[in-house]
Chains A and B, each alone.
Chain A
Amino acid sequence: MSLDIREKLKILANGAKYDVSCSSSGSNRSNHGKGLGNSVYAGICHSFTDDGRCISLLKILYTNYCIYDCAYCINRKSNDIPRAAFSVKEIVDLTINFYRRNYIEGLFLSSGVILNPDHTMEQLANVAKELRTKEKFFGYIHLKAIPGASYEIIKKAGFFADRLSMNIEIPTEQNLKMLAPEKDYRGILQPMQLMKEGIIESKEERRKYRTSKAFVPAGQSTQFIVGASPEKDQLILKVASGLYNQQKLKRVYYSGFLPVNEYDKRLPAIKEPPLIREHRLYQADWLMRFYKFDVNEIVDDLHPDLDLEIDPKLSWALRNPWLFPIDVNHADYEMILRIPGIGVRSAQMIINARRYGKLSVDKLKKIGVVMKRAKYFITCSELPPAVKDLKPEAIRTKILTEALVPVKKIQKPVQLQLYFG
């Protein structure tokens, strides 16, 4: 029974790694000199794995035993793999000792389902409670809300955690039924709705009584597996957009399908995980969250899938050529944000700097505008002539051939931490 702690950690970290969320953002706990740790609103990454993903939290499973048999999951009950379970104390000790050494921002605890969802959720809540009350731990805690657990227990957990996440994994009810027969689509969405209401309520309480306890202050997140089922990007992004707008989710993660159970014929046979598609989905998600794009501008019935060759912002610009060129010395912030080659930071700098005088191509370059891209879409105090009359198709070809990075080598920011400023 008593596996060596190193063995346990290897097994239970390995089982947790397919959940891509690792963010430690959205919370502002402070220890006021009476405990250990705090959390920084923007979140902090502490290391990066060989696959380039951020390590911010100690991401582990409470146990990888599971009574369910989801097709896409390494921990499903029909897999013959080494199994282990932590004790509450082991998790607490690991978290505190890693934290004190500045290895991590906190804990992300998930689990296979043991006995039943309620019992499992109870265990996760206990770990969080122990950390907060006994150890006076003010670092970040992210708990997985176990699908099917009753809201009462999820709610209890929410008063100790910074973030709760319920993974939808498969974006349509019918395909979820096929791949994860024990799970219930509505049973996942419903607690999300209740949590949202709980969060709003708690915020109001805290406005009135500053001492009342925070409930999931860093909000909820979820994850979709991309490519395990045949949904188009349009559908995935629409669901995501609804989750952001109606359920007020903080983050939606997209995880390119990895064939961990190749024997299962319900799943597509693929050679490589769809990493470029995943990357494009994150870019589209970015456009919705930071660039004020509506989901219907990014994908529509004519273009239900994102273009793999070019990013979704460029793709949008080429589909709407009549909006360009944009005069950077006069256009408003929203329009400047939409120019390919201009990011949030450059857009803000442009707005600030142009109050002092007209901006030239040279100054735009210095500010950080990627002129190779932007030149097709802007005018400023000096017009770059020739390019103005190019047709969208020609621009596309030109950008692709002069391309900054060949498509195949494109970098995949799975967990970007943004420093705006």
Chain B
Amino acid sequence: MNIFIYDRTFEGLLTTVFDSYDLKIVPDVIVPKNNLQDSLFGNKIEIITDTVKAERVWNGLEKKLTDGACQLPYKAWLSEMKIEMLVYKFIRKVFETPFNIEKNYGDEHVLAIRQLNRKVTREACRTLEFLRFQKTTDNIYYASIAPPYNILPVIISHFEKRFTDQHWIIYDIKRHYGVYYDLQQTSEITLELNHVNTGTGRISNNAMGESEELYQYLWKDYFQSVNITERKNLRLQMNFMPKRFWQYMTEKQMLT
């Protein structure tokens, strides 16, 4: 059994594809480093991430697929659902079929990649909807997220385009990393979350900027006022706005 071990980056996974061709060895399983590999027995091959190799695989994808479809394996991989082998098989199939297969939904790998892609995209879309910023004393707008998939890389550009004239931070509490936009550029950061309640995502009262609390109240008031009781339909509400988001949503929190 051939076990390929990579460093949990997408470049690493692309390098894996490259090396597999190079070594003429087909992996039976691809695992991120430190992930159960000790309990697996077999021929372990550790992949050293190499941006040149990764680039060559990526360019290969660009040649065979349309622009939009190149993102497919990347977004599917962001689902973090142990889909390394699927991504691997998909990329090989793309390379080894003489024509473009991106729309062959009759093929199990193509369909699976597309479906994962939809899951990740949907989660990202919902995060654009339900993420809430709170203004801090240093005039930074801060938001907590804890998504089931690693969607932060996908949503950054939306917020860059929208909130160009304010400082903001989006922080993934589950994965312990975030991004900070400082009016010029966005950089990856890690934070000591002293002022954030990781249960509610809220920043502590003394870290809140002027009027922050008032606007949270106003938003909650608004949310209550536009409801039409005669039309109550909680199932429909939950369909559109899954419960897992409520935790961090201002309008769904009790203010103290």
Question: Is the beta-carbon distance between A51 and B163 smaller than 8 angstroms?
Answer: no
Contacts of B241 in A (CB 8 A): 47-48
The reply on A13 being an interface residue by CB < 8 A is yes
Instruction: Looking at the assembled complex, report how far the CB atom of A227 sits from the nearest CB atom of chain B, in whole angstroms.
Output: 13
**Bound state CA distance, A52 and B130, in angstroms?**
15
**Bound state CA distance, A1 and B91, in angstroms?**
68
Contacts of B163 in A (CB 8 A): 36-37, 100
Question: Is the beta-carbon distance between A31 and B164 smaller than 8 angstroms?
Answer: yes
**Bound state CA distance, A52 and B240, in angstroms?**
8
Question: Is the beta-carbon distance between A10 and B225 smaller than 8 angstroms?
Answer: yes
Q: Chain B, 116-159, contact with A by CB distance < 8 Å: what is the 0/1 string?
A: 00100110010011111111000001010000000000000010
The reply on B217 being an interface residue by CB < 8 A is yes
The reply on B230 being an interface residue by CB < 8 A is yes
In residues 1-35 of chain A, which contact B (Cβ within 8 Å)? 5-6, 9-10, 13-14, 16-18, 30-31, 33-35
The reply on A310 being an interface residue by CB < 8 A is no
Given contacts A59-B226, A275-B231, contact A49 B237 (CB under 8 A): yes
Question: Is the beta-carbon distance between A352 and B105 smaller than 8 angstroms?
Answer: yes
Question: Is the beta-carbon distance between B226 and A17 smaller than 8 angstroms?
Answer: yes
Question: Is the beta-carbon distance between B237 and A33 smaller than 8 angstroms?
Answer: no
Question: Is the beta-carbon distance between B226 and A14 smaller than 8 angstroms?
Answer: yes
Least CB separation from B108: chain A residue: A366
Question: Is the beta-carbon distance between B164 and A46 smaller than 8 angstroms?
Answer: no
The reply on B193 being an interface residue by CB < 8 A is no
Contacts of A236 in B (CB 8 A): none
**Bound state CA distance, A354 and B128, in angstroms?**
34
Least CB separation from A45: chain B residue: B129
Instruction: Looking at the assembled complex, report how far the CB atom of A309 sits from the nearest CB atom of chain B, in whole angstroms.
Output: 20
**Bound state CA distance, A5 and B221, in angstroms?**
11
The reply on B251 being an interface residue by CB < 8 A is yes
The reply on B26 being an interface residue by CB < 8 A is no
Question: Is the beta-carbon distance between B164 and A50 smaller than 8 angstroms?
Answer: no
The reply on B166 being an interface residue by CB < 8 A is yes
Question: Is the beta-carbon distance between A98 and B219 smaller than 8 angstroms?
Answer: yes
Contacts of B234 in A (CB 8 A): 50, 52
Tally of contact residues, A, Cβ under 8 A: 60
Instruction: Looking at the assembled complex, report how far the CB atom of A8 sits from the nearest CB atom of chain B, in whole angstroms.
Output: 10
Instruction: Looking at the assembled complex, report how far the CB atom of B245 sits from the nearest CB atom of chain A, in whole angstroms.
Output: 10
Binding site secondary structure of chain B? helix
Q: Chain B, 223-256, contact with A by CB distance < 8 Å: what is the 0/1 string?
A: 1111111111111110111000000011100000
**Most chain B C-beta atoms within 10 Å of own C-beta, residue among A349, A354, A356:** A356
Contacts of B232 in A (CB 8 A): 50-51
Contacts of A102 in B (CB 8 A): 131-133, 143
Instruction: Looking at the assembled complex, report how far the CB atom of B241 sits from the nearest CB atom of chain A, in whole angstroms.
Output: 4
**Bound state CA distance, A347 and B27, in angstroms?**
36
The reply on A272 being an interface residue by CB < 8 A is yes
Question: Is the beta-carbon distance between A55 and B223 smaller than 8 angstroms?
Answer: yes
Question: Is the beta-carbon distance between B240 and A48 smaller than 8 angstroms?
Answer: yes
Q: Chain A, 36-64, contact with B by CB distance < 8 Å: what is the 0/1 string?
A: 11101000111111111111001100000
The reply on B21 being an interface residue by CB < 8 A is no
Least CB separation from A362: chain B residue: B106
Question: Is the beta-carbon distance between B223 and A47 smaller than 8 angstroms?
Answer: yes
Given contacts A101-B133, A102-B132, A103-B219, contact A357 B106 (CB under 8 A): yes
Contacts of B132 in A (CB 8 A): 101-103
Question: Is the beta-carbon distance between A6 and B161 smaller than 8 angstroms?
Answer: no
Question: Is the beta-carbon distance between B165 and A51 smaller than 8 angstroms?
Answer: no
Contacts of A132 in B (CB 8 A): none
Contacts of B230 in A (CB 8 A): 258, 272-273
Q: Chain B, 196-234, contact with A by CB distance < 8 Å: what is the 0/1 string?
A: 000000000000000100010111011111111111111
Instruction: Looking at the assembled complex, report how far the CB atom of B255 sits from the nearest CB atom of chain A, in whole angstroms.
Output: 12
Q: Give the contacting residue for A356; candidates B104, B211, B223, B236; CB below 8 A.
A: B104
Question: Is the beta-carbon distance between A47 and B130 smaller than 8 angstroms?
Answer: yes
Least CB separation from B183: chain A residue: A33
The reply on B96 being an interface residue by CB < 8 A is no
Given contacts A30-B161, A355-B103, contact A412 B233 (CB under 8 A): yes
Contacts of B106 in A (CB 8 A): 353-354, 356-357, 359, 363
**Bound state CA distance, A48 and B237, in angstroms?**
6
Q: Give the contacting residue for A52; candidates B103, B222, B236; CB below 8 A.
A: B236
The reply on A94 being an interface residue by CB < 8 A is yes
Least CB separation from A12: chain B residue: B225
The reply on B101 being an interface residue by CB < 8 A is yes
The reply on A97 being an interface residue by CB < 8 A is yes
Q: Chain A, 51-87, contact with B by CB distance < 8 Å: what is the 0/1 string?
A: 1111100110000000000000000000000000000
Given contacts A10-B221, A272-B230, contact A46 B130 (CB under 8 A): yes
Q: Give the contacting residue for B235; candidates A6, A44, A359, A411; CB below 8 A.
A: A411
Given contacts A48-B240, A355-B103, contact A13 B228 (CB under 8 A): no
Least CB separation from A18: chain B residue: B228
The reply on A367 being an interface residue by CB < 8 A is yes
Contacts of B226 in A (CB 8 A): 13-14, 16-17, 49, 53, 55, 59
Question: Is the beta-carbon distance between B164 and A35 smaller than 8 angstroms?
Answer: yes
Q: Chain A, 363-405, contact with B by CB distance < 8 Å: what is the 0/1 string?
A: 1001100000000000000000000000000000000000000
20 example contacts (A-B, Cβ-Cβ < 8 A) are as follows: A10-B225, A13-B226, A14-B225, A45-B129, A47-B251, A52-B237, A97-B211, A98-B215, A98-B218, A98-B219, A100-B166, A101-B133, A101-B135, A101-B141, A102-B131, A258-B228, A258-B231, A363-B106, A412-B233, A421-B121
Q: Which residues of A contact B (CB under 8 A)?
A: 5-6, 9-10, 13-14, 16-18, 30-31, 33-38, 40, 44-55, 58-59, 94, 97-98, 100-103, 136, 258, 272-273, 275, 349, 352-357, 359, 363, 366-367, 411-413, 419, 421
Q: A45-B129, A50-B237, A363-B106 are in contact. List 20 more A-B contacts (CB 8 A).
A: A5-B218, A9-B222, A13-B222, A13-B225, A17-B225, A37-B162, A47-B130, A47-B251, A50-B233, A52-B239, A98-B218, A100-B141, A102-B143, A103-B219, A349-B105, A353-B103, A357-B104, A411-B236, A412-B231, A419-B121
